[in-house]
Structure 1
Amino acid sequence: MHVVGIVIPVTIISVVVLAYIYSTLLHYNESLLESDNRRVSATLYEITAQIYTASSKVAYDKDTWNALSSAYERESTMREALGELSAISDYAADASLVDFVEIYTDNPDIHDYLEYRRADSDIRKTDWYRSALTQQSPFWAGIPGSDRGEDGWNICLIRRIPMQNSAWNAVLVIGLDDSFLKTRLSSKEYGMALSIDRKNVVFASDPAFLGAAMSDLVPLDYGTPYYRYTGRSASQRSMAAVSQLQPYRSKSVFYVASFNDVIYPQIQRILFGLFLIFALAIIAPTLISRVFSLLFTRRVARLRSSMHTVSEGNYDIAPAFEGGDELSEIYRDLLHVVARVQDADRKVYAAQLQEKELERDQQAMRFQMLASQINPHFLYNTLESIRMKALAEGSRSTADAIKTLGKIMRYVLNSSVTAGEVPLSESIAFAREYMSIMKFRFGERIGFHLEVGQEVDSDRVYVMPLLMQPVIENAVLHGLDEVEEGGSVDLAITREEDRLEIVIRDNGCGMDEKTLQSLRERISRDVSDEEARQTRHGLALHNIAERIRIRYGDAAGIRVDSKAGTGTTVTLTLPYLVEPQ
């Protein structure tokens, strides 16, 4: 009700009043700026009329025509003739608005002297000089000071001197005095800029504007006759008024721009002050109304906060609520609901613990089943080989082989009854003993190389049992099966940060890309009982991958790389455990 009755009406009135004040201030200052722009234009028109009248006296002076058309054999004669002319000197001495009066001629006998200048090749290339030779009427232009060996710009009236019966040309240039223009045109409140025709700025109260395009300062439409504009400048930071002026008896066009750089910040400060007043008129009643409703709304907010806390699963709320009204009854019902929810959560948590325990037991059983699937067939083949060799040779090496085999069988049997880890040193010793049996079986056809990185403490790091033996068996039976001599199995164990990497490599026949891809698919997916009966190729690696996944999760695993004719590499990646998991 407070919002509907007070805030909304006061806000609407405030917006309307601020908009009206802004519009009034804007139009008032635009009118002042337009008045100053008209003042500048009128002054400029008056100045151009005076300059035009003076230029006519010089341009139609017959003594000047004769002096400029004559031929001179000596420079002293030329100086004497030009020195006797008084049309320019008399006018320049009395006119405070004129900076200079100069006549440029292409008469080759006349050199620079007093106000008379030789029109050399540089002058004849200038736009204003060429325009003067082609135009009959006077025109205005901004001449860069560099054309006359000076700095800045000069606003000049330029007209051709119509010398009759003369083979030479002469151009009169009258430059306005910059200080005089600043005195007459500039004001303390406003800045101004002036350009002629569609050229750059040639006069401005701010020197930074000189040489800039007028269209970069204010919006301009050169195609509109008698163009006028009042509004924001091109930079949007100033108020600008632009008008078009036709100088006295000239086809040139002046574009006069006046600027007010401070009005927009002033209007903004006024509006901001009014905004603060209106905001106070809105906020003060709101605060007063808020004080009267605070007692009730605070209790509602506390109830709502407690309900929100409970909805997010946090049941730690105050056990009591002040008062004896309906809000208190609602809060007591909330406490009752919280108590029932907490009791249900406890029961669910106990059920989850039981479920996790059952799942852990199932994983342990599955691990035991997978570990028990290690193919013992090699033991029988080895025993038969040892037996045959003992019968044939009666060698002591047979007894040693039988002893080694006994160790292997004992290790396998011990590992089959536990799902825990064993020291890496035991697994390495088992790999050595297994390879000694393989060397006994296959002779010098195969060799074995072991390399354990210095960063690996094999007595303190733990791994699952029977991980390396199936891979080594695959390397011997499948990788080196067709190798007659020079076969080798390399075992390298290194540590990479918090990972243990076991690399088993053979130099056997290897696999082509299709066979390798098929093997990788059998390792990564579940193998059915039917597949296990049909073929055992890849089953051992699949079992190892499954054991690693069950024990350590997806962060650990097995990778197989191979290339036909060069051998196969199997990499086991395990966590680096310094104590059994």
Structure 2
Amino acid sequence: MFVKGLKEGWNNIRIRKKMIGIYAISVLLPVFFVSLYLTYSMSNAVYSRMVNEAKTDTVRVRDRVNELLYLMTNISDKIYFDKQLKNIISTKYSSFLEFNNACKSYPALKEYIQYYSQIEAITLYVDNSTMWDNGFFVKTTDTVRKEDWYKAAVRSGGNMIWQCFYNNDNNSYYLALVRRIRIDDNGNYAVMVMRVSYSYLTSVIQNEKTTMLMTVDNDRIVLADDRKKLGTKIDLKGLTAVSGDSEQFLKDVSYENRKVFIVHDSFLPQKTRSTIQIINITPTSDITRQVIDTYTTGILIALISLVAPVMLMVLFTGNFSKRILFIRTQIHRAASGDLDISPGISGSDEIAELYKDLIKMIGDMKKLLQENYEHKLQQQKLLTKQNEAQFKMLASQINPHFLFNTLESIRMKAFVCGQREIATVIKLLGKSMRSLLELDDNPQPLKSELDFVRNYLEIQKFRFAERVDYTIDVQDGIDEKILKVLPLLIQPIVENAFVHGLEQKEGHGRIDIIVNRYNENIMVIVKDDGLGMEAEKLEEVHCKIKESGGKTGKSIGLSNVNQRIKLYYGESYGIRVDSSPGTGTTVWISFPEQCLKIYGRNDNQNAQGFNH
């Protein structure tokens, strides 16, 4: 009773008030809560995306730096084991000319700098007093021996270490690979310093949107977008000094009087004992700005979602009376016999449903009239088709078997009369005709196509007697019975070879057919030693082959074959023609081998054929 009373009460309410209640319950409240949820989710998504982008950028910079350092360690190994270099350092020189000649005979260090833009300089500090300083070789002084990097290199025992150096020439810091090189078994050694090109190193971070820093062993900065930061130490609370491979993430950290979040990625380059740190610094304000933009967008969407339904509701209530008047007018027209009423009411409420039923009823009436008319047309079409079928039956009364039986009778007569050659040719002709009648558009075994070509060649050989010879060569590993090809692709090419190449040639002629595999494709080559073509004629043939329907000239069969191949297998395949006067003509036909091994066409049409 309660439900029934509720329904009756609802039906008594005006539609305008119903719409307002439905709008408040089903639109206002859901949109409000959904907007809050989506705005919160979007802000979290923005934050997560910024963090993930920072991590990705850091990993990308780390990988590029690691590639650079790995290159320099490989070059360091070459220098470390270079016997000629050790011989130059250990030799005692009597004059500068002798030393200079020795350096000229060893251009390796200079070539490393020339060929590798990653290297800015290579310096070897030596204890040989008979050598002169020339940029590559520098005598070790007491001041150098007191340097921390020199002591670290001596202690390393030949292991490679990375150091942050100060360059007095341009008052700047740079990254260098330091290594002690043993010269002989007497304990003599040299210290190599291989300096990294700072311009190349900065190219690693030049396209980054955030601040990127790089340090060595948690010490001084050796790479930054601002050169003033080079050689300084980074001071970030919460950033732990680590060695080896590790990753840290800090948020809401103070850096240069602003809040930032940090992605810290450290790694140990191969063959070295120094840890490289990549530090990505992103201002928190960037995230805040995007979050605010997200909140603004969410509020704007919520307002649009709330205002738009109100406008629609006002439009509906104003249009309601028009809909009632419209349906009454259309019913009156239908009652008067006018069945061409307008489908002018949309929606799914009671008024719309009523009007749809009216339209359906009138539509059924019109359909009955239309079906009666179409039935008469169908009867007329059926009569026409019956007449066509009778005509085709009369035209097809000559059975193909009659033709084959006649040829067989002629062949037997020739055989009995001792004309075995004629009998053989008639047999080949019958096989060719039967093959043509049985062909359809489906791919057939390569063997069937080659047998058809072979029959054609034998018939032509009978015509030309000893003037014509041919060969058919199939590469080992190609199974003629399994491999499928489209029918009548090879025979038109062979026929062109006879008609345009050999018929008008004086003397002996030859056609060679080669089937082989090339880059997972099948290549069929038809080559004749006929008259050939001039360059202008060959260019004309090429143009007609590319056309979709050449009508004249030598390219009749070639154009059709080329278009069939491209339509079935794709634009990467087709035919190519080459010819020269007096030497003959060669035609290449390419197919995708994978497509040919199945009965139907598949999607693998992206394989490469040959370059046209």
Which TM-score band (shorter chain)?
0.3 to 0.5
* Larger gyration radius, structure 1 or structure 2: 1
Higher relative contact order, chain-length normalized (CA < 8 Å, sep 6+): 1
TM-score calculated relative to the size of structure 2? 0.41
Give me the TM-score of the superposition, normalised by structure 1.
0.43
